[in-house]
């Protein structure tokens, strides 16, 4: 590595958590210094806090999980809004799915450039979070007064995703400072916040939509933004770095080793994430509409989205913990096959409330918890660079974001195909057959990531 480092003189972090296992010294025991920071005396900084546990790590994780719940929970509840918007804008049904895929997908996409910029400008991380909160609130208010699908795409899609990314991104930078050997477990807990938010928000949003309509619902959620601001005021102080922030005089960007771009294992892992992202968001977007097509109560559609997100809570924690213990190939293959089986055998056969609930729980537990594997993917590529983990996480998120963005127009095209009308089960429901088949095949294709063979940087 070309990045210069200096070891911390005060304390070996391994002695603080009682863990005598070997850890990569550059990441755990060293503080990054650029050449321009040579005059920064790190010996005067306090001892580094405990890694993989302790007050600092656990309070950071609790705050990061809270942010995850607030930011991603609403975005992953769009299926409830789609069913309502299809009635309000019957001439724009082909555009409306794009709102949800942009809200989620753009956040994944924007993580990459913002993470890279914040790596070079760490002192901006806290400010970016507050700016993001303002932009996200503007998206809520703008969507409440939108009169067309295009305005919904801009407000509830673009503005929300931009603000959400700015609010959320710094938490991923800090995750890789606070957690190392138990990173999969910690990340699983944080990502479980998405499931918790996705459980609560559909129920609240559906009840408000049915009683008051779109404008009052979004304005009510905007008012909740004030509560979000108060809550974030208590959370942000705990979303903090473990390593000292370089002084303002240090302006040179850290030198990074980008040689992993030249290796096939990275691209296999990245491609697997891309395939998974192409299909992972389709059930959550379409299940409420699918329930309506089966002439089931709107409550059933809402319940399926809520239960899918509920299953992600234990799914993220359990799969994240297992990723720390089991080989990545086993996890990749198991998740790909389990997700595909849940689609072909679950969604494909679901024609009643019980079938939809069973599919929602299975798909949420496996496909919905896939991102808990990202820390293990990262450990395959790098173990000792303090900057690369957050950047690699952003690159995998970028692949998932591409899949999400493409899935919007792609799903609209697939569902307009009536080639399977008359087929058994869900395959014959108003064009959903092709969508179901594509979702299952894409889940199988995500298993291509298991094809990597070791990884050695130049």
Task: Give dist(CA 38, CA 190) in Å, integer.
Answer: 36
- The verdict on residue 367 lying in a domain is yes
Residue span of the structural domain in which 238 resides: 54-242+259-451
Per-residue pLDDT of the chain (458 residues; tens, 9 = 90+): 333 333 333 333 333 443 433 333 333 333 333 333 333 333 344 577 777 777 878 888 888 888 888 788 778 777 777 777 877 777 777 788 788 878 887 888 888 888 888 887 877 888 888 888 888 878 878 887 888 888 888 988 899 999 989 988 888 778 777 777 777 778 778 877 777 777 777 777 777 777 777 677 666 655 654 555 566 566 666 676 666 666 554 545 667 778 888 888 899 999 999 999 998 888 888 888 888 888 888 788 878 888 888 888 888 888 888 887 888 888 899 999 999 999 999 998 888 999 999 999 999 999 988 888 888 888 888 766 667 888 888 899 889 888 888 887 888 888 877 667 667 877 888 778 889 999 999 999 999 988 877 554 43
- The verdict on residue 16 lying in a domain is no
Task: Give dist(CA 288, CA 297) in Å, integer.
Answer: 9
- The verdict on residue 26 lying in a domain is no
Task: Give dist(CA 284, CA 182) in Å, integer.
Answer: 30
| Counted domains in the chain | 1
Q: Which tokens go with 441?
A: 């095949």
- The verdict on residue 250 lying in a domain is no
Q: Which tokens go with 233?
A: 């005021």
Helices 282-293 and 388-415, packing angle to 10 deg: 30
Task: Give dist(CA 378, CA 371) in Å, integer.
Answer: 12
> What are the phi and psi torsion angles at 118 (to 5°)?
-70, -25
CATH code of 319's domain: 1.20.1250.20
Residue-level pLDDT at 362? 94
Instruction: Please return the burial class of 422, using the count of CB atoms within 10 Å of its CB with bins 0-12, 13-18 and 19+.
Output: exposed
Task: Give dist(CA 67, CA 173) in Å, integer.
Answer: 14
- The verdict on residue 230 lying in a domain is yes
Residue-level pLDDT at 228? 53
Q: How many CA atoms lie within 13 A of 261 on its CB side?
A: 7
- The verdict on residue 43 lying in a domain is no
Output the CA–CA distances (angstroms, integers) from residue 66 to 135, 161, 195, 201, 236, in the order listed: 19, 17, 11, 14, 10
- The verdict on residue 35 lying in a domain is no
Residue-level pLDDT at 340? 95
Q: Which tokens go with 417?
A: 């195909």
- The verdict on residue 322 lying in a domain is yes
């Amino acid at each position: 590595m070309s990045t210069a480092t200096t070891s911390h003189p005060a304390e070996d972090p391994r002695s603080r958590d009682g863990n005598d296992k070997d850890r990569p010294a550059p990441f755990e025991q060293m503080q990054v210094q650029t050449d321009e920071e040579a005059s920064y005396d790190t010996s005067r900084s306090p001892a580094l806090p405990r890694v993989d546990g302790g007050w600092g790590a656990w309070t950071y994780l609790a705050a990061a999980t809270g942010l995850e719940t607030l930011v991603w929970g609403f975005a992953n509840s769009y299926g409830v809004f789609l069913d309502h918007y299809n009635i309000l804008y019957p001439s724009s049904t082909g555009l409306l799915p794009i709102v949800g895929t942009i809200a989620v997908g753009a956040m994944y996409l924007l993580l990459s450039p913002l993470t890279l910029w914040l790596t070079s400008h760490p002192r901006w991380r806290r400010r970016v979070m507050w700016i993001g909160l303002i932009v996200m609130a503007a998206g809520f208010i703008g969507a409440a007064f939108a009169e067309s699908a295009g305005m919904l795409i801009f407000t509830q899609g673009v503005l929300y995703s931009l603000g959400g990314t700015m609010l959320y991104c710094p938490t991923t930078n800090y995750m890789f400072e606070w957690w190392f050997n138990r990173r999969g477990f910690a990340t699983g807990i944080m990502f479980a916040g998405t499931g918790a938010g996705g459980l609560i928000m559909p129920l609240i949003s559906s009840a408000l939509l049915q009683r008051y309509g779109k404008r009052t619902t979004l304005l009510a959620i905007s008012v909740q933004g004030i509560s979000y601001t108060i809550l974030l005021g208590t959370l942000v102080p705990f979303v903090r770095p473990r390593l000292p922030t370089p002084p303002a005089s240090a302006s040179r960007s850290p030198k990074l080793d980008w040689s992993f771009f030249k290796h096939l294992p990275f691209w296999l892992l990245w491609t697997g994430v891309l395939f998974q992202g192409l299909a992972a968001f389709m059930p959550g977007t379409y299940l409420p509409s699918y329930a309506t097509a089966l002439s089931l109560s709107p409550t059933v559609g809402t319940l399926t989205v809520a239960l899918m997100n509920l299953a992600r809570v234990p799914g993220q924690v359990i799969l994240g913990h297992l990723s720390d213990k089991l080989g990545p190939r086993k996890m990749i293959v198991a998740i790909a096959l389990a997700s595909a089986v849940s689609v072909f055998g679950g969604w494909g056969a679901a024609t009643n409330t019980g079938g939809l609930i069973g599919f929602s729980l299975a798909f949420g537990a496996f496909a919905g918890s896939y991102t808990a594997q990202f820390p293990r993917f990262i450990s395959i590529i790098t173990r000792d660079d303090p900057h690369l983990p957050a950047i690699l996480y952003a690159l995998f998120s970028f692949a998932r974001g591409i899949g999400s963005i493409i899935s919007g127009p792609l799903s609209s095209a697939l569902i307009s195909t009536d080639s399977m009308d008359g087929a058994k089960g869900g395959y014959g429901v108003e064009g959903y057959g092709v969508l179901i088949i594509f979702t299952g095949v894409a889940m199988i294709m995500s298993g291509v990531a298991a094809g990597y063979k070791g990884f050695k940087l130049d």
